[in-house]
Structure 1
Amino acid sequence: MKFVSPKIDYAFKKIFGSQQSQDILISFLNAIIYGGKKNIQSLTIVNPFNPGQLLSLKDTYLDVKAVLVDGSIVVIEMQVARMTAFNKRVAYNLANTCANQLETEEDCLLLNPAIAVTITDFILFKDTEDVINKFVFQQETKNFKFLEEELQLFFVELPKFKKNLSELDSLSDKWIYFLKGASRLDEIPENLREVSEIEKALNVANKINMTAEELDIVERRGIAMQDERGQITYAEQQGEQRGEQRGEQKGQQKGRAQLIIRQLKKRFGEIPETIISQIEDLSVADLDNLGEDFLDFNNLEDLLSWWPNN
């Protein structure tokens, strides 16, 4: 058996957003939102998966949206590559999902809870090792909650998940393992088969059950995804190199300025702060010139007369 990666947007939508995916999505959401408790019993998938329709649409359409039996709206997104202002975009999508329920302000009493579940293939929160993080509105100093049910954000960071197959002991563990490692499996492991919804998800992701057209789409979208990640990595590396170069140049400039100031003080005693500031602002090239020329100075007046020439 060979499985496509659920991290590829097309495959993610097919697995979790098809008309026949209700039980898969219910199990996944119960695992991530409710810690495995069967709080969600039924839901309706909005804009269900349609292979022909997805060919020309942008990646953002490939998010999965569902309405729970109590009216709560859940938006599930897989994000593989970092992007500018990602956190703000997630917050906007949640607020937009909530606001789109109403036609006028007077209808606010009819608002249903809005929940965003965002899965990232990169680390968002470096201050915690938790794989799943939940955010709600709460008071800043006393930490009591506000709008606890109405607006909720869940993040699942796949790189933080380190468990192997033998260590999976919860429903959330098994679903996160599926998301992160399905493409590396060559069969359905027994402890994943124990969850019928995960077994079904793996059968959906099984390449043998896909048409040639679907496999082609998955391959092309997977290549596009890798290209996007490669471009972002390259840009980050270039930025780091430029930063290192700027840091190195700044270090050289600061070191040379301090050396010349010490030498000037040895020759001429105390140096006015205004002159020290001007020396510290000189470029490396100007500092090199000053380092050679000051040997010919007899007093500070020679230094001041040198200045206009640079």
Structure 2
Amino acid sequence: MNELLDPRNDFLFKRIFGSEENRDVLLAFLNRTFAEANRPLLREIVLLNPYLDKDDPLDKQSILDIRASTSEGELINVEMQLFNRYDMEKRTLFYWSKMYASQLIEGQSYSTLKSCVTINILDFKLLKNELYHSVFHLREDQTAIALTDDIEIHFLELPKLDPQSFALEKGGLANWLLFLKGVTTDHWEVLTMNEPELKKAMDTLEFLSQDQEARMRYEARQKYLHDQASLMEAAKNAEIYGFKAGMEEGLEKGIEKGIEKGIKKGIEKGIEQGIEKGIEQTALRFLRLGVDIETIVKATGLTEDAIRSLSDSAK
């Protein structure tokens, strides 16, 4: 038997939770999430972008989050995030706002807008608390009066979930998240004791783990995600390197020319050269990762000739 695939992979996550045949699985997961937020449970949901076989995990047009609506018209978006993009809060608000605004057709009244819920499942720590489930609304600071309940954002942080601190046989959201986190199959029976739909999610994962085509598409997506993480890390390191190099060179030249005037000019020139060096280092890392030159031009602002020269000098 093949090793189980990782359900945190967003392509696989959508196969398990975002397909029409597993709509009951998604509904059960959402209700466990909402129960912890002390809000009414859902009776039914409609998938707005169900998983289709034609969905390509490497196609930029493929949407690998899950979008659904309730019978009252409320919109829900569920997204799995493996890596910290360091802009998660703003990214969340941006996509929430797009979902909210997309409801309004020209000529319609604002009163027709329904509430929108974003649920982000994170495989990294984001918030400065120890809660694995954090929920945000729009409230007045002193009195906690709600301005509107139209905005609701959940963060489910998997690294903050400790299996030892939960009575797993009781069921609940924690059991679902432990499954996603990759708890061993030895614990699956206990996790599903009071979660029948979770058993269906596990069965789907086992089936997909033995399906050759699903494994190939999963592995392609995993490679893409890891490459993206490497690019982000390279860019971050290059930025830090460029700033430090610029500061060091700028201070050195500034001292030579005089304290006040020299430091100012030296820092400016040093930062400029440091940034240039950092950009070049970033371009080199992209080349080594196999990124095409056209993409590197867009990402760094360097010319094609400059990038080819860097490529030649690195050989």
**TM-score of the aligned structures, taking structure 1 as reference length:** 0.72
| Counterpart in the other structure of 1:177 | 178
State the SS of the aligned residue for 1:137. strand
| Counterpart in the other structure of 1:26 | 27
CA deviation after TM superposition for structure 1 residue 61, in Å: 0.4
Instruction: Decide whether the 8 Å contact of 1:3 with 1:207 is kept in 2.
Output: no
- In structure 2, do the counterparts of structure 1 residues 279 and 56 end up closer, same or farther at CA, with 3 Å as the change threshold? closer
Residue type of the alignment partner of 2:91: R
Report the Cα distance in structure 2 between the residues aligned to 1:6 and 1:221, rounded to whole angstroms.
12
| Counterpart in the other structure of 2:296 | none
Residue type of the alignment partner of 2:115: P
Instruction: Decide whether the 8 Å contact of 1:74 with 1:114 is kept in 2.
Output: yes
Report the Cα distance in structure 2 between the residues aligned to 1:147 and 1:45, rounded to whole angstroms.
25
Please, which runs of 5 or more residues in structure 1 have no aligned partner?
Answer: 261-274, 285-310
CA deviation after TM superposition for structure 1 residue 115, in Å: 0.7
**TM-score of the aligned structures, taking structure 2 as reference length:** 0.71
Q: Superposition pairs for residues 15-164 of structure 1, below 5 Å?
A: 15-35=16-36, 39-54=41-56, 57-58=59-60, 61-83=63-85, 85-125=87-127, 127-148=128-149, 150-164=150-164
Report the Cα distance in structure 1 between the residues aligned to 2:26 and 2:249, rounded to whole angstroms.
54
Residue type of the alignment partner of 2:192: R
Bigger radius of gyration among the two: 1
Q: Percent identity?
A: 23
CA deviation after TM superposition for structure 1 residue 24, in Å: 1.0
| Counterpart in the other structure of 1:233 | 233
- In structure 2, do the counterparts of structure 1 residues 281 and 89 end up closer, same or farther at CA, with 3 Å as the change threshold? closer
State the SS of the aligned residue for 2:21. coil
Residue type of the alignment partner of 2:69: V
> How big is each residue's C-alpha offset from its partner over 1:14-38, in whole Å with a ceiling of 9 and x where there is no partner?
0110001222111211222321877
Q: Larger relative CO (CA 8 A, sep 6+): 1 or 2?
A: 1
CA deviation after TM superposition for structure 1 residue 147, in Å: 0.9
Report the Cα distance in structure 2 between the residues aligned to 1:11 and 1:34, rounded to whole angstroms.
25
- In structure 2, do the counterparts of structure 1 residues 145 and 25 end up closer, same or farther at CA, with 3 Å as the change threshold? same
Residue type of the alignment partner of 1:52: K
Residue type of the alignment partner of 2:191: L
Instruction: Decide whether the 8 Å contact of 1:117 with 1:154 is kept in 2.
Output: yes
Report the Cα distance in structure 1 between the residues aligned to 2:72 and 2:190, rounded to whole angstroms.
32
